[in-house]
Amino acid sequence: MVDDNSSDSTRSILQCLKEKHSNLKSADAGPLPGGWSGKNNACRKGAEIADGKWLCFVDADVYAQQELLETAVNFAEKKSIDLLSINPLQELVTTSERLFLPGVFLSIASSMNFNHVNDPSRPQAGANGQFMLFRKEAYEAINGHHCVRNEIMEDMAFARIVKSSGYRLYWIFGETLISTRMYRDILHIWEGFSKNLAEIMRKQNPIESVYDAIKSFLLAWMPLLLPFWTFFHLINGMDTVFNYLAFGLSVSVFAALLTTSLFIVKALKIPFWYVFSIPLGLSLHTLLTINSIWRMKKGKRIWKGRIYS
């Protein structure tokens, strides 16, 4: 475990853990070298003192089941995986989290195709930095964290480098083995996603990102408004074949969004009535994407008190 110049109780927690677990190694990240982000420097330091065939990088706010590592390594060995990334269950506790995050997660998920990411013949790549398990041989072959030293989205950068270098990348959900709680209120949601949402959506082109923002807004409100609009035309005597078809199509789109929203709410293990807040999250995703693009264009992003250029 690495203490990245923390101002909280990380150091004392590490000391207590070392007293209970004699095999636990810890280190200080040291002064931040030029051209490095704090997290990447800390992970580099951890990799340097680690032994074994596998290197596992896990965020400090992740909660793991006891069998996580054994299950992950066995899975990676069985499928000859060089980088295995696992999406944790996102725990939503406060009303703000439950109102806004399901819609944001839905927008992000709609931009990703895990089958393509896991297909070695396709160029698409992605990973979640909350849990990344590397085969040490592959990690060292791509020069480890040195190759992503100044990346804020080091997980996505690693995924691209690993896959383009011919190593096996695999990205899965592991909600029964691992969980996390990312942001606890609307301000942290805003700051957290604003720093990198355009990159999470894998859209480096601002025009593509704006398109995604518009798509989220339309997905939020058009399925709700179109059935009423087409039904209004029908009851006012405009009962043409086109209006009947439009009404049927709009109801189908609404049903599809409702079904998907129910699935998201169930997967996140929150009360079903939060399905009605999905449009709020989708709308917030639109604003977050625009703000993320704006910050990228400015060339500076702020996260946990640090400014990244």
Candidate ranges 108-112, 190-194, 271-275; pick with highest mean pLDDT: 271-275
Write the CB contacts of 178 (distance below 8 Å, at least 6 apart in sequence).
62, 63, 64, 65, 68, 86, 88, 89, 130, 131
> Is the pLDDT confidence value at 203 over 60?
no
Q: Within a domain: residue 282?
A: yes
Q: What is the dihedral of CA 144, 149, 153, 156, to 10 degrees?
A: -30
25 in a structural domain? no
Range of the domain at 216: 51-309
- Predicted pLDDT at 273: 94
Assigned domain for 29 exists: no
Q: What's the domain count of the chain?
A: 1
Answer whether residue 20 is part of any domain. Answer: no
Whether residue 192 is contained in a domain is answered as: yes
Confidence category of residue 93, pLDDT binned at 50, 70, 90? very high
User: What is the structure's pLDDT at 283?
Assistant: 94
What is the reported pTM? 0.83
Asked, for residue 44, whether it belongs to a domain, the answer is: no
Helix and strand totals (H; E) in the chain: 12, 11
Whether residue 298 is contained in a domain is answered as yes
